[in-house]
């Protein structure tokens, strides 16, 4: 069985990034989009990053154009958007797919480790997730990502400890995050 540290991903400029670099860190791994209804979550992600980065938090941001073509543009254009609009300090990695035959291997690992989304309490959030489940091409398949801004929390030992639905805002994640930083 693989560990998260066995994977390499591409940086936005096409270089290999060995995830073993993050041993001992807490990771929040997110598939994102710049033109999504959840895009304002970048603000909350940046707040978490600023508050907990010195305590070991790293955010791995993977733009994904797989859901409603909501992440158009090059890796550099996406990065510039995030910096200019949300003043992000964490870096965006290369654009990927998270579901299907072309899915990033890291995401197959994450989905196997945590196949179910944690959804916030509330009728609005549950209805939103139900609607997203009908929109996504692969959403009906067990474990597959339903939409952008699905988040995975990884502890300092590389264990995938939680998976959060897109409706689960960074502010709600903070309570769980405090257990690991």
Sign of CA dihedral 74, 165, 169, 45: negative
Spatial separation of the C-alpha atoms in residues 134 and 122, rounded to whole Å? 19
Q: For residue 6, how many other CB atoms are within 10 A of its CB?
A: 14
CATH of residue 174's domain is: 3.40.30.10
Please give the average per-residue pLDDT across 62-76, as a whole number.
94
Place of tokens 């890291």: 106
Say what the pLDDT of residue 129 is. 61
Say what the pLDDT of residue 61 is. 98
160 pLDDT above the threshold of 80:
yes
Q: Which residues contact 143 (CB under 8 A, 6 or more apart)?
A: 111, 112, 115, 116
% of the chain surpassing 90 pLDDT: 81
CB 74 within 8 A of CB 80: no
Spatial separation of the C-alpha atoms in residues 159 and 146, rounded to whole Å? 22
pTM of the model: 0.92
pLDDT in tens, 116-155: 988 887 767 667 666 666 665 555 567 889 899 999 999 9
Structural domain of 131: 4-178
Indicate which residue of 28, 29, 36, 132 is catalytic. Answer: 36
CB 55 within 8 A of CB 181: yes
Whether 64 sits among the annotated catalytic residues: the reply is no
pLDDT in tens, 71-116: 999 999 999 999 999 999 998 999 999 999 999 999 999 999 999 9
């Amino acid at each position: 069985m693989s560990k998260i540290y066995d994977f390499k991903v591409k940086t936005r400029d096409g270089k290999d990034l060995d995830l073993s670099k993050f041993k001992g860190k807490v990771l929040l791994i997110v598939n994102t989009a710049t033109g999504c209804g959840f895009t304002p979550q970048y603000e909350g992600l940046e707040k978490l990053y600023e508050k907990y980065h010195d305590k070991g938090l790293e955010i791995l941001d993977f733009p994904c154009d797989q859901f409603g073509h909501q992440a158009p543009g090059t890796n550099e254009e996406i990065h510039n958007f995030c910096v200019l609009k949300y003043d992000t300090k964490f870096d965006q990695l290369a654009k990927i797919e998270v579901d299907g035959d072309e899915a990033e291997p890291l995401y197959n690992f994450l989905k196997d480790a945590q196949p179910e989304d944690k959804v916030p309490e509330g009728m609005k959030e549950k209805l939103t997730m139900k609607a997203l489940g009908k929109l996504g091409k692969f959403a009906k398949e067990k474990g597959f990502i339903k939409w952008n801004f699905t988040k995975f929390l990884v502890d300092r030992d590389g264990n995938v400890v939680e998976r959060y639905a897109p409706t689960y805002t960074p502010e709600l994640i903070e309570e769980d995050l405090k257990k690991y930083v």
